[in-house]
């Protein structure tokens, strides 16, 4: 079994120029596989809302739902660092509410760190959580919890004023004490500029190759993104087509049951052989 990964290991990886790998997981089975495969960080993302719960956005996800899913993943992760996403309205009301909720993820669910979206406007909140001894991962650029403000899941930072603001946001996250920051849905050149201006690692998703690491939603990578969502976004690389594998396995099961091919005697239990003769009575 590989060594357990802690926050300082990720900082050292960035200093050595070693790429950091992060994937999402939401349950014990997938988290065990991702952990065994050797990923550095498992993010229990609030993408739970779209990927697992079938919502259009991440907005409906609650703290209680996230605590439950984080506990499943934390039980599975033997070496990866488990990061819990703070869902919408679990930190926006202010630093004290945020700290209470962040504390639940560490204490009740077994996460090692929390993630929250935003830059300059959440820096006080990040500072409060970090000061309480909870590592925080920032998230700037395309921040899915701002779906309505952004007008959908839109690429951010294309115009120079927006790019400047995002650089300032990432700096604010670092200055507030975050150990790492996710850069989502921004031009590759801006992600490179932000990475070069920070000393903490950046983890990109749809942010080009110059970040300190990369994250993908596991279901996208495996080719099992829910059917309603259409084609995965341009930044996704699909490493497997599990959708085809699952559909054909289930279709084969249906065919076999209907035709009597399953179960066969090899799947049956035998009754215990009857004991012959008088039973010996033990007094």
- When CB distances to ligand KIV are compared, the closest residue is 45
- Contact flag: residue 220 with ligand KIV (CB under 6 A): no
Q: Could you say whether residue 217 binds ligand KIV (CB under 6 A)?
A: yes
x/- binding map, residues 43-62, to ligand KIV, per CB under 6 A?
A: x-xxx---------------
- Nearest distance, CB of residue 273 and ligand KIV, angstroms: 55
Give the position of tokens 């952990």: 35
CB neighbour class for 110 (10 Å; exposed up to 12, middle 13-18, buried from 19): middle
Binding mask 8-27 for ligand KIV (x = CB under 6 A): ----------------x---
Annotated catalytic residues are 184
- Please pick, from the candidates 198, 215, 222, 224, the single residue that binds ligand KIV as defined by CB under 6 A: 215
Q: How far is the CB of 158 from ligand KIV (least distance, A)?
A: 20
DSSP per-residue codes, 132-194: TT--EEEEEES-GGGHHHHTSS-----SHHHHHHHHHHHHHHHHTT-SEEEEES--HHHHHHH
User: Among residues 56 and 96, whose Cβ is nearest to ligand KIV?
Assistant: 56
Looking only at residues 97 through 156 of this chain, which bind ligand KIV when binding is defined by CB under 6 A? none
Burial class (CB in 10 A: 0-12, 13-18, 19+), 207: buried
Cis peptide leading into residue 137 (ω within 30°):
no
Instruction: Assess 85 for contact with ligand KIV (CB under 6 A).
Output: yes
How far apart are the two ends of the chain, measured CA to CA in Å? 52
For residue 219, the minimal CB distance to ligand KIV (Å) is 10
Taking alpha carbons only, the member of 116, 118, 74 closest to residue 99 is: 116
Window of 42-50, 91-99, 154-162, 262-270 that interacts with ligand KIV by CB under 6 A: 42-50
Identify whether the C-beta of residue 117 lies closer than 8 Å to the C-beta of residue 57.
no
Residues of this chain that bind ligand KIV (CB under 6 A) = 24, 43, 45-47, 85, 182, 184, 205, 215, 217
């Amino acid at each position: 079994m590989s060594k357990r990964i802690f926050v300082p290991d990720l900082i050292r990886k960035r200093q050595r120029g070693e790429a950091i790998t992060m994937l999402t997981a939401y349950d014990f089975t997938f988290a065990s596989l991702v952990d065994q495969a050797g990923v550095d960080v498992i993010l229990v993302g609030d993408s739970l809302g779209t990927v697992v719960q079938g919502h259009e956005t991440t907005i409906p996800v609650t703290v209680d739902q996230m605590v439950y899913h984080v506990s499943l993943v934390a039980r599975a992760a033997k070496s990866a660092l488990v990061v819990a996403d703070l869902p919408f309205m679990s930190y926006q009301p202010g630093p004290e509410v945020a700290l209470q909720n962040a504390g639940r993820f560490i204490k009740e669910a077994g996460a090692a760190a929390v993630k929250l979206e935003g830059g300059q406007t959440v820096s006080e909140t990040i500072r409060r959580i970090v000061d309480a001894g909870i590592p925080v991962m920032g998230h700037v650029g395309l921040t899915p919890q701002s779906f309505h403000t952004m007008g959908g899941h839109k690429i951010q930072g294309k115009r120079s004023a927006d790019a400047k603001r995002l650089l300032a946001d990432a700096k604010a996250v670092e200055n507030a004490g975050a150990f790492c920051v996710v850069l989502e849905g921004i031009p590759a050149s801006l992600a490179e500029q932000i990475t070069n201006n920070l000393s903490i690692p950046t983890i990109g998703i749809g942010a080009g190759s110059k970040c300190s690491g990369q994250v993908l939603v596991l279901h996208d990578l495996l080719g099992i993104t829910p059917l309603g969502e259409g084609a995965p976004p341009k930044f996704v690389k699909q490493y497997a087509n599990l959708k085809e594998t699952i559909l054909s396995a289930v279709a084969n099961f249906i065919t076999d049951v209907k035709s009597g091919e399953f179960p066969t005697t090899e799947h049956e239990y035998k009754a215990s052989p009857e004991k012959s003769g008088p039973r010996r009575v033990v007094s």
